[in-house]
Chains A and B, each alone.
Chain A
Amino acid sequence: MSDDFPISVAGLNHSFGIGEARKQAIFDVSFTIKRGSLTVLMGPSGSGKTTVLTLMGCLRDVQDGSVRLLGHELKGAAPAVSEDLRRRLGFIFQAHNLHGSLTALQNVLMGLQVHSYGDPQQNYRAAQHALTLLGLGDRLDYLPANLSGGQKQRVAVARALVGNPEVIFADEPTAALDRESGMTVVAMLKKLGAMRGTTTVMVTHDNRILEMADRIITLEDGRIVADR
């Protein structure tokens, strides 16, 4: 079951703040996501897209309801379980979050080193390959400060993909990319889905990506208002 549906969310509620200031952001959200699919989360600003994404990605503790990720229940999961799960995920953040002291190649290597296995030479080649695929073969030893915004974002994508994650979570990954490289990235994600069964959940407003999505879930005020 978890093989076919790496993510299933049921009756999910989430609130921020405490006491008087406590405010519910997510109301009774439920869905299951199929392996190898590209799912888009959309909705107006403040509708809860990022919150749902971070809950699914083990970046935030589940308060109420159930989130099953790769066969593990996240509600009440031990920190070690979430850490292990995160190693099987890939994150592409809105801000690139590259490490400024590391070169492009070293940043990508960080995506591999989290797995204790793998020999250094092989890791090095894999990182180089990932960057080359994203058109950065000639920028391997550049520090982030010497890369353009789009180039930095592509390094971040390479870092997320290089470890062969089973699920990729992306929050407006194409915002910082020009049209062409944005589409290259999405095409890569689709290809990974078909070839390796990599599942992608992405927050985006980009119309051309919506066309490529297998499924679109629309949130409004913390509730699912459309799912197709």
Chain B
Amino acid sequence: MTRLLQWLFGRLPIGWLQLSHNRTRFAAALAGVAFANVLVFVQLGIMNSMAVATLKPYGFFQADVMISASDANSMTEGANVARQWLFQALADPDVTGGAGIFVGNVSWARGEKTLGLTTFGVDPTLPAFLSEAMARKAATLQLQNSGILDMYSRGLPRDEAAAIRPQSPISFEVSGKTLTLYDTFAGGGGFGGDGYMMVSDQTFLTLFPARKSAAPDHILLHLRAGADPDVVAARLRDLISDKSLRIRSYEQAGQDDLSYQQTRRPTGIIFGFGVIIGILVGIVIVYQVLSTDVADHLSEYATFKAMGYRQRFFLGIVFEEALILAVLGFVPGLVVATGLLAGMKAATTLPLAMTPAMAGMVFFGTLVACSVSGAIATRRLANADPADLF
């Protein structure tokens, strides 16, 4: 290590020698940096999984523009919208088709556990509004009181989910009706419900008698190829008489939902704070270690000053130490956090994972944070006065 660094710097790696000389302090410093890294990683992992989970239901459908009620912050929230706006929208030359979708929560009482299923009611005769994977299975939905189930639903044993096939369907009771599941799809990992279910709009209306076919939760629109969804959405906002509606490109709706979850919902804010606290903890620990180290070596630094070493050299030592702490603390932090996220994923079925982007971002952040700590710690260097040596 000493040789490698010596070759890198073209001088003796004083910072490394100083740090590694005091083993206990070095180990504590690395543990501190690793801990801060783990903290940030876990929070980021949760935030990432929240993003994946938030955007998940948007992936079940295909649309260019979405019309929702004013209070619909996400797919599963908000009042319904009148189907007549769909007909008004069709007057726009770029709008080629539309479909309403319904959203509700269905409880599946399974002995001890009750699964809360976020259930979408869709028109099975319009598969173009479904994702390709979903469209392939849409035919079964045409049967009255049938559904397809999220195979990754929390609390549903995997083998049981795998057993649900058209040739071996299973049934359960919901509000006095018998619902039969013929197939499964890959959903998974929500912060809201335990999983997703797809039914036809007709089935949906029998499950939720209070809902009306003339008032779906969202309206999805398809546009002529080449039309800009944002431009058309703006035009539709002018065209459609109800000005309180949220008319956005489908893409934008997903992004709005995401930023709502991350910046307005308490969970999102808490995890965001967690990241900031992790960074602060890291900065404080590294600053503490570096400034103690500078203070402990003041007379050595004063000697080097007397020998003609410049300020740059001393800054170099402190930054060398900062970078060593950053790199060597990051590695165990990454390993522990990867394991922790994998464990949490297994326990919660949330899509938690270490991603290269996250690792890269945190590594870069660690370098910056350690440099900041180093920069603050260098202020103590001024106390090294060679005149005090004799």
A87: Cβ under 8 A from any B Cβ:
yes
Whether A114 contacts B308 by the Cβ 8 Å rule is yes
Chain B residues, CB < 8 A from A86:
305-308
Q: Do A171 and B390 contact each other (CB < 8 Å), given the known contacts A59-B306, A97-B300, A111-B307?
A: yes
Q: Is A87's CB under 8 angstroms from B11's CB? A: no
Contacts A86-B306, A110-B307 given; indicate if A50 touches B300 (C-beta within 8 A).
Answer: no
How many residues of A are in contact with the other chain, CB < 8 A?
A: 32
B387 and A59 within 8 A (CB): yes
Q: Does B12 contact A (CB under 8 A)?
A: yes
**Which partner residue on chain B sits nearest A54 by CB separation?**
B387
If A54-B390, A93-B390 touch, whether A101 touches B306 (CB-CB below 8 Å) is no
Q: Is the CB of B386 closer than 8 A to any CB of chain A?
A: yes
Instruction: Choose from A54, A84, A95, A99 the contact partner of B297 (Cβ within 8 Å).
Output: A99
Contact indicator per residue, chain A 139-170, by CB within 8 Å of chain B (1) or not (0): 00000000000000000000100000000000
- Choice from A84, A95, A101 contacting B389 with Cβ under 8 Å: A95
Q: Are A110 and B304 in contact (CB under 8 A)?
A: yes
B386–A59 CB distance below 8 A:
yes
Q: Is the CB of B390 within 8 A of A100?
A: no
* Separation of A102 and B297 alpha carbons in the complex (Å): 12
The answer, among A87, A113, A171, for a CB contact under 8 Å with B12, is A113
At the interface, yes or no: B303 with Cβ under 8 Å from chain A? Answer: yes
Quick check: which of B13-21, B30-38, B118-126 contacts chain A, the rest being far away? B13-21
CB distance from A38 to the nearest CB of B (A): 19
Is B390 in contact with A114, judged by CB distance below 8 angstroms? no
Instruction: Tell me whether chain B's interface is mostly helix, strand or loop, or mixed.
Output: helix
The answer to whether B306 touches A106, judged by C-beta atoms less than 8 angstroms apart, is no
| Distance of A54 Cα from B14 Cα, bound (Å) | 26
B interface, size bucket: 20 to 34
Q: Report Cα–Cα, A54/B385, bound state, in Å.
A: 11
Across the interface, which residues of B come within 8 angstroms of A98, CB to CB? 300
Q: How would residues 369 to 390 of chain B score, 1 for a CB under 8 Å from any chain A CB and 0 otherwise? A: 0000000000000000011011
Closest-by-CB residue of B relative to A109 is: B12
B364 interface hit (Cβ, 8 Å): no
Give the CA-CA distance A50 to B390 in the complex, in Å. Answer: 7
| Residues from chain A with Cβ under 8 Å of B304 in the complex | 110, 114
What residues of B have a CB within 8 angstroms of the CB of A109 in the complex? 12
By beta carbon, the residue of chain A nearest B385 is: A59
Nearest-CB distance from A128 to chain B (Å)? 15
Given contacts A54-B387, A94-B390, contact A101 B308 (CB under 8 A): no
Whether A100 touches B303, Cβ cut-off 8 Å, given contacts A106-B12, A113-B11, is no
Report how far A50 CA is from B12 CA in the complex, Å: 31
Closest to B11 in A: A113
**Which of B6, B302, B303: most chain A CB closer than 10 A?**
B303
Question: In the complex, what's the smallest C-beta–C-beta distance from B181 to chain A, in angstroms?
Answer: 68
Q: What CA separation (Å) do A159 and B308 show in the bound complex?
A: 13
A53 at the interface (CB under 8 A from B): yes
Q: Which of B1-28 contact A (CB under 8 A)?
A: 6, 11-12, 14, 17-18, 20-21
A83 is an interface residue with CB less than 8 A from chain B: yes
Q: Which residues of A54-99 are within 8 A (CB) of B?
A: 54, 57, 59-60, 83-89, 91, 93-95, 97-99
Given contacts A83-B309, A100-B21, 12 further A-B contacts (CB under 8 A): A57-B306, A59-B306, A59-B390, A86-B308, A93-B389, A94-B390, A101-B14, A102-B12, A102-B17, A114-B307, A114-B308, A171-B390
**28 chain-A/chain-B pairs, Cβ below 8 angstroms:** A50-B390, A53-B390, A59-B306, A59-B389, A59-B390, A86-B308, A87-B307, A87-B308, A89-B308, A91-B306, A91-B389, A94-B390, A95-B389, A97-B299, A97-B302, A97-B389, A98-B300, A101-B17, A101-B20, A102-B12, A106-B17, A109-B12, A110-B307, A111-B307, A113-B11, A114-B304, A114-B308, A159-B307
The 9 closest A-B pairs by CB, nearest first: A87-B308, A86-B308, A101-B21, A97-B303, A101-B17, A60-B387, A50-B390, A99-B300, A59-B386
